[in-house]
Structure formats: C-alpha cells, structure tokens
Copies of this chain bind each other. A is one copy, B any other.
C-alpha cells in the first residue's frame, strides 16, 4: 500500500490539539485515522473490526472530555487504537518502523491516558467504580468514563459492575458501545434487550438500564461525531450515574468487515491482500479432529452439547460447524462461569457436555470448576486450548491453567501428546460417568503412529515410553517431543540411555512408577509447557522429597511476560535440550 498522507492528524499530538480543531475537521480526521488503522493492522495483525467501529466515538470522547484528568477506561481494550493515535502514540500507526512499538491493548506504562493494562473482557465498569470511589474520597472532580461493548456486557463482572455503578451516588458515565456483535454473534436476553432498544431508537416499555437506576441516553449513530459531542457534553460533569447506549458499526469503513464481521474481529497479517483468494484446504489439526468427533457423535444420536463462551474461533467452531451442530451447540456469550455451570447441569441430566475454553480464560471460572463441577463430580469435558508458553501479550498468557485446574480436587486433567491419545482421551471422557475431566489440547498436531488403547479410567498411570537408567525424563503433553530431544542429546553428549515417560495425567502422581525409578536413576527431570509454580513438576519433586533422588523442573517462571520472544524465554527458562543437558551434567 502507498504511504498514507495525513493532513489533519499532523496537527494532533494530544487531546489538547484535538480540541483546537473545528468540528468540521473531525470527520476528515476520522477518515485519516481509519486508513492508518487498516494499513497498520493489515501489516502486523491485530484487532480490526472493533477499532474501526470506535474511530468517531473516540474522537468525540477526547473532544469533550479532558483526558488524562478525566479517566476513560476501555473494556478489554480491543478498541483502543483510535485512542492510542490521539494520545501521543500516532507514530505507532504512521511509521511502519514503529508498528510494534506499542501494545495492542491499553498500557499505563505507555501513557497516563491509559489507566489499566487490560485484555480480558467485562472489567471496565468495575474498574471505573473504583476510580470514581477513589476520586470521591480524595475530593476529585473529574469524569470517570467506562466504555464497554455489548458482547462484554454479558460477563458476570460487568453485570456486578452495573449493579454497583448504579448506586455510586456520584459521577460515572458508562458508554455501551453496541455493535450488535460479540466476537461471534451475540447471545442472550441482554442482546435481545439491546436489539429492542436499537429498533425503537432507545424508547421501549421496559428499559433494562433505567430499571437499574441509570439515566439513559441513546445515540442512534455512533459515527456521527457532532451528535456524540452533543450527548457527551450534556452528561459531562454529571453528579450521578449515566449510561449512554451507542450504536456503532463493527468494521466501519471497510466493506468486507462491515458485511462479515466475525472473521474481521482480529486478523492475521496481510489478510486484506488475500480476500479474494480461494480458501485453502485446511490440514488436520486438533481443532478439525475435535469438530469431526463432535459432529460424528451428534449424527450417531448422542446428546452431545458443544459449549463455549463467545470464542468459537479459538476452536475452529466456525459458522458451518455451528449450523451443523444446531441445538447441540451453545454459545453462552462472554460468560465462562455460566458455561462451566451449564456444562455441569447438562452432565447431571445425562447430556454429554464438551466445553471449549482458551487457557487464558480458564481463570475466569475457578469457583465454578471447583464448586459447580468438581465437587459434584459431574462428567463434563473441558477442552483447554492454547495452553503453553508463548510470546503472547501479558494479558493473554496461557501458562496458568495447570496450576489452576490441577490443584482442584476431583478433576482429571489429561495431557495428550499426539492425535491418537487425544482421540482416545476425548472419547473416554465423553462416555464415562465418574469424573469431571479436562484435556489440555496441544497447539500443534503430532502423531505417534500407534493406536492408543489405554483405559483412562485407571487414573494416574503414566506411560513408560522407554526404560533406561540414571536419568528419567517426565515430559508432559506438548513438551513430550522436547523430552525426546533431551533423551537423544543425553545419549549423544553424555552417553546416558535415559528413561522417557509420558505422564498423560497432569493431576496425579504415578507413585508406583516413580518409586521404581529409584532403583537405577539418580536424576528425574520434569518438562511442562506452563508455569512451574503450583504446576505438575513440583508434585513429582514433592514425591521424591524424602529420598535422595534429584529432581529438576522445567517450565515457565511465575511472571507476566509481555510479547517476549520465544528464544529469550527458552534461554531464560532453560527450555532447550542443550541447556537441560548441561544442567543434568552439572548435578550428575
């Protein structure tokens, strides 16, 4: 694409500069910003539709309010690019060399205009109530504004926030950015309620927000900057809770994204250059295997329900799959607590609930995993996707699911290392009636070449892959291949014929096998693709605490890394076969 000429944006390095523009210059400014966002996101990948939808509204916000004195909290911050452009960070959008300078989320370390590091949804209202309460105690007078999408509004924290914001008794302005979409289609009574409001220009018989006690305003066109300025000015400095319901178009200004919103929520680099390409045949993946399995079972008449909380794309549960599943598919909206409890209820009633969830979002539903599910031993199946160490943003790390799930009693958490095991585990889990089961689905597919005939109802039985001596490698799930590499290098460098174990069970220790290792091993190493603290390896180490066995645990440290390159992490955590072999050499 050619370099984008900005003329009006040239004059804007801060919200103060913005306020000096005439109202007539604002839409042309929006057009410039939109072009920048399209080009930048198509180069780096990132959130596309949500940002395009918020260009005009963000201009109006900064035109009326006085950030950073006035505090604007963006929910999930999928829509913060226009805000970044207007608050001193336009370089990250105008200069391709700086495209990676700023995170894709709000980040207080970048500027005072960002209040919180945010990447999980449904938090903005609650966080804003805190800012408002702090302000009131300290005698401040600023406006506190929470932006939240209609999708995010269905999350429990957001609803708890609404309940509290309504009685704050002072200034708080909640802006519901209603684009009639979550990542996929919206779900639930709240969605229908918003639709009714939109269809009736904000005038309905039973107004949900008014029922809660909010002063309610409706903005029919969230791209009409002048109208928004008028409404925002009206509520600025309010002394009571106000809710503005604003209709915007997700993907605004880029036709394909306006028409087909879901695939443009977040895009990969260069997506826009290949819109007319023939779709490529997808190679086999854990996603495709899962879909095939679920559809097969449904066709066989099984009472399967595939459940997820508004992120079907993570599992490849695309429109075609959803349509085929029909009533066997449930999207709870952004509501992981509901998803887990519902799965438990379905299992209790004899249905076969299979819940897909991304590792980073498991932590949104700990109490439900523990109380609604595990305490009741209801046989639902949780498929945890994307678990593992990565170069992800600090808000989307997927390293914490093992410490979380594996320390809850009763849950059987399984770690397949290949397609054959995954199929067997999934089928076992769906058909058994004894346990709540979670399966940590690896990211990249792998094959053992041998059908797995394991009976997983015999819990905590590890697989002895190769019996050796001196050193035993316990390599969990997606790190099993790393275990094989370590074994090979130990042979090559130290002449050690190491034992290789595939534990398969994250949630239990195979005491018999570990005990047997004592006779001809002096070192055990554990490899896990996640946080060490509270994880799998520590339990092995505890088992050997009363013996002379030395144990080294490999995994990630307890820390929020932030887009840290994998090479750096592998070096820091000693996750390469070379570094591990070196460590073993040092203690043997």
- Contact check: which of B131, B161, B335, B545 meets A349 at CB < 8 Å? B131
When the two chains form the complex, which single residue of B133, B305, B330, B345 contacts A305, counting CB atoms closer than 8 Å?
B133
Choose, from A1-9, A116-124, A511-519, the stretch at the interface.
A116-124
List residues of chain B with CB within 8 A of the CB of A348: 115-116, 127, 130-131, 134
- In the complex, what residues of B have CB within 8 A of residue A552's CB? 545-546
The verdict on A548 contacting chain B, using a C-beta distance below 8 Å, is yes
Let me know if B541 and A546 touch, CB within 8 A: no
- In-complex Cβ contact of A164 among B134, B208, B335 (8 A): B335
Taking the closest CB of chain B, its distance from the CB of A571, in whole angstroms, is 19
Q: Is A407 located at the chain interface by the 8 A CB criterion?
A: yes
Question: What chain B residues lie within 8 Å of A206 (beta carbons)?
Answer: 206-208, 210-211
Q: Chain B residues with Cβ under 8 A from A131's Cβ?
A: 345-346, 348-349
Roughly how many angstroms separate A406 CA and B366 CA in the complex, as a whole number? 15
Cβ–Cβ < 8 Å partners of A204 in chain B:
211
B159 x A188 contact (CB < 8 A)? no
A126 B157 Cβ-Cβ under 8 A = no
**Contact call B333/A558, Cβ cutoff below 8 A:** no
Measured CB to CB, the closest approach of chain B to A176, in angstroms, equals: 14
Chain B CB within 8 A of A534 CB: yes
Closest to A156 in B: B156
With an 8 Å Cβ cutoff, the count of chain A residues facing the other chain is 120
Q: Is A166 an interface residue (CB 8 A)?
A: yes
Q: Does A212 contact B (CB under 8 A)?
A: yes
Which residues of the other chain, B, contact A87 by a CB distance below 8 angstroms?
A: none
CB 8 Å contact bits of A552-588 with B (1 = contact, 0 = none):
1100001110000000000000000000000100010
A163/B188 in contact, CB under 8 A = yes
Instruction: List the B side residues contacting A542 at CB < 8 Å.
Output: 532, 537-538, 541, 551, 553
Residues of B near A366 (CB, < 8 A) are 363-364, 366-367, 404
CB of A152 within 8 Å of the partner chain: no
Report how far A266 CA is from B138 CA in the complex, Å.
37
* Residue from the set A337, A351, A539 with the largest chain B CB neighbour count within 10 Å: A337
Among listed A314-322, A368-376, A423-431, interface-contacting one: A368-376
- Whether B164 and A160, one on each chain, are in contact in the complex, defined by CB atoms closer than 8 angstroms, is no
Does any Cβ of B come within 8 Å of A272's Cβ?
no
Asked if A559 meets B137 with Cβ closer than 8 Å, knowing A164-B338, A541-B545, the reply is no
* Contact partners of A532 in chain B: CB under 8 A: 542
Q: At the interface, yes or no: A359 with Cβ under 8 Å from chain B?
A: no
What's the minimum C-beta distance from A433 to chain B, rounded to whole angstroms? 13
Confirm or deny: A289 has a beta carbon within 8 angstroms of a beta carbon on chain B: no
Chain B hits for A376, CB < 8 A = 108, 116-117
Q: How far is the CB of A382 from chain B (nearest CB, A)?
A: 14
Interface mask (A521-532 → B, CB under 8 Å = 1, otherwise 0): 000000000011
Extra inter-chain contacts (13) besides given A156-B156, A409-B558, CB under 8 Å: A117-B376, A127-B342, A130-B349, A131-B348, A132-B345, A133-B346, A133-B349, A134-B349, A156-B160, A160-B332, A161-B341, A164-B187, A403-B403
Q: Which 4 A-B pairs have the closest CB atoms?
A: A130-B345, A156-B156, A134-B349, A166-B189
Instruction: Give chain A's interface residues, CB within 8 Å of chain B.
Output: 71, 108, 115-120, 123, 126-138, 140, 154-157, 159-167, 187-193, 204-208, 210-214, 303, 305, 327-328, 330, 332-333, 335, 337-338, 341-351, 353, 361, 363-364, 366-368, 370-372, 374-376, 394-395, 400, 403-404, 406-410, 531-535, 537-539, 541-542, 545-548, 550-553, 558-560, 583, 587
